[in-house]
Amino acid sequence: MSYIEELKEALGDKVLTEDFERFVFGADWSPRTQGEIIPPDVVICPRCTEDVVKTVKIAYEHGIPVTAGGGLTGMAGGAVPIHRGIYIDGTCMNQIIEVDVDNQTIRAQSGASLQDLVDAVELHGLWFPVLPESKWSCTLASAIACDIDSTFGMKYGKPLNMVLSIELVTGTGEVIEVGHRKTRFSATGYKLKDLIIGSEGTLGVITAATVKVEPVPEHRHVDMIIFPSMGQTVKYLDRVLKAGLVPEGAHINCRRRLKFYTHAYKEKHGHDPKIPDWAGALLAIIFAGDRDVLDFTLKKAYAIAAEMKGQIVEEREIVDNWWISKHTLEFPPFKQKWPASQTVKKFGAADPGIPMGRLEDIYEKFIETAEKYDLEILGMNAYLEHPCSIGFSLSCALFVDYRDQDEIDRYRKYFEEMSKIAVDMEGTMSTYMSDTDLKVPYFEYEHGPAARYMLEIKRLFDPKGIMNPGKKFTRDRVLGKEE
Ligand SMILES: Cc1cc2nc3c(=O)[nH]c(=O)nc-3n(C[C@H](O)[C@H](O)[C@H](O)COP(=O)(O)OP(=O)(O)OC[C@H]3O[C@@H](n4cnc5c(N)ncnc54)[C@H](O)[C@@H]3O)c2cc1C
């Protein structure tokens, strides 16, 4: 019996094989031409962990690749089944399993969206603060698999800081739970939970997880402050932290990037927001708390800004435009973003991380590299993603014409070069997209001899190299067929 027949026998109508059913799973939001769409051979729509176990056991027996995906809004092809085989549509498993108000945790199936988590605890005055712009489509599993960025990262961090336990179906079809559902930390065993975070489906399929939830702050205030340079913005944030203030979120925009978020402003007024010529960076900063604390915090934050020659953006429409575009999304989906984004030209970004003192340097390299490959620059953002400290996750973004193979090829060269530049700056190639197949050439370059240990871990979880093959390591490498 073929493996697809076995799947049909085990899972019935949860198995999809028609061309039109498979086609949509051959691409995510990363720039790629029509010819580069790679549909899987078969799609599974599981409803429970047991469905995933049955799928992986059959795949293991036959040595068939298994790629799990969520909302397919990944921007580097992480869920694209580049070796075809089986695609597991994780969005079919989206149930909330438990809300524990006393212990402030929520457990959900892995395909619940991040917004689903927020909705499930809202009536208890709680929320899950790991929220990307794509919170309605990004699944819990994908957030874990990529250790994504959040709008509120400067206070709450990333999934790494918020996930308590993960249920995983390994590459042999065994179910394991890593971490502890109700305790915040543990010093026993090895921290396998942290290993799964950022593993992008290469060690197994995530089927459920328990995360912390937090009390919803009473009030929130968003500001934008103009600084002459990115470096000055970093100094400002350092002063804010030293004063004892904790922003909920902070995002440094280069002046080009602001336009991406304020397209609706331009539509209405017929011009871009007026930003002084001396502006080198715009800091969007979010504070939250009860009225007294928030008032005191803002007073102090404004005083530090004035001392450091930062200018508060007084025109609230600019700030509100940014905030709507970034978080509340109170408009028809993505309409407010630059119209060329995702229609004619795709949003294509490199996502390196660098030490806090190198922001100006990487910005220079970003512009230089984009120009070298003749690519249209959208702009750079530095998202502050480490709780209560300065830790950058960068989005060095371009507009890429997805119909033009030459432009796509130049974009990939840019992407590779930016990865190398970040490592040379004692940084990392990726901060929220993970490795995918695009960073494989520089994997060793970043990790050195530790890459060998990672390979052995991969083989332990996935002896036949069937879990999202081609990501982090080539499949041949995992199977020992290449050096
Ligand atoms: C408009 C827009 C805004 C965005 N904003 C942000 C942002 O603010 N911050 C940010 O970090 N990113 C952002 N992104 C990028 C993207 O949303 C995130 O990277 C998100 O993680 C993708 O979620 P997804 O469910 O669509 O994942 P997919 O693209 O479907 O998958 C992503 C990865 O997760 C793995 N995966 C999925 N399900 C499983 C599973 N069950 N088990 C194991 N592995 C699995 C896949 O194999 C793949 O490697 C944005 C994207 C868009 C389109």
146 lines ligand 1 (CB under 6 A): yes
201 lines ligand 1 (CB under 6 A): yes
Contacting residues for 483 by C-beta, under 8 A, at least 6 apart: none
- Residue 192 to residues 98, 116, 273, 432, Cα–Cα distance (Å): 23, 26, 47, 19
Specify whether the CB–CB gap between 429 and 446 falls below 8 A: yes
What sign has the CA pseudo-torsion 425, 385, 437, 59?
Answer: positive
Q: Tokens 């100094």 identify what position?
A: 235
Distance CA 398, CA 377 (A): 5
Which uninterrupted H or E stretch holds 156? helix 153-156
Distance of CA 359 to the CA centre of its chain: 20
Distance CA 49, CA 93 (A): 9
Residue type, 30: S
Which one, of 72, 250, 289, lies nearest residue 157 by Cα? Answer: 250
The sheet carrying 42-44 orders its strands as 15-16, 42-44, 86-89, 66-69
Distance 444 CA to ligand 1 centre (A): 24
Which is the closest atom of ligand 1 to the Cα of 206? 42
**Residue 326 per-residue DSSP state:** I
Q: Tokens 């395909």 identify what position?
A: 111
138 lines ligand 1 (CB under 6 A): yes
Contacting residues for 229 by C-beta, under 8 A, at least 6 apart: 280, 281, 360
351 lines ligand 1 (CB under 6 A): no
Distance CA 47, CA 111 (A): 10
The tokens of 313 are what? 């953006």
Q: What pLDDT sits at residue 335?
A: 57
Q: Supply the Cα-derived Rg of the chain in whole angstroms.
A: 22
Instruction: Please choose from 24, 30, 146 the residue to mutate so as to test ligand 1's pocket, defined by most ligand atoms within 8 A of CB.
Output: 146
**Class of the CATH domain delimited by 345-431:** alpha beta
Q: What pLDDT sits at residue 477?
A: 95
Distance 372 CA to ligand 1 centre (A): 29
Instruction: Please choose from 137, 138, 261 the residue to mutate so as to test ligand 1's pocket, defined by most ligand atoms within 8 A of CB.
Output: 138
Distance CA 306, CA 293 (A): 20
Domain assignments of the chain as residue spans, ordered by start: 3-91, 94-215, 219-328, 345-431, 442-478
Low-confidence ranges of the chain (pLDDT < 70): 331-343, 483
* Phi, psi torsion values for 273, nearest 5 degrees: -55, 140
Which is the closest atom of ligand 1 to the Cα of 468? 47
CA dihedral 402→348→467→34, nearest 10 degrees, is 0
- CATH assignment of 3-91? 3.30.43.10
Vertex 183, ends 179 and 189: CA angle to 5°? 40
Domains 219-328 and 345-431 in one fold: yes
* Phi, psi torsion values for 78, nearest 5 degrees: -60, -35
Specify whether the CB–CB gap between 308 and 281 falls below 8 A: no
Q: What pLDDT sits at residue 128?
A: 98
Q: Which fold has domain 94-215?
A: 3.30.465
Distance CA 207, CA 170 (A): 10
What is the tens place of the pLDDT at every residue in 268-278?
888 888 889 99
Q: Look up the CATH architecture of domain 219-328.
A: 2-Layer Sandwich (3.30)
Specify whether the CB–CB gap between 409 and 416 falls below 8 A: no
Distance CA 44, CA 399 (A): 33
- Residue 166 to residues 89, 180, 204, 418, Cα–Cα distance (Å): 18, 8, 11, 32
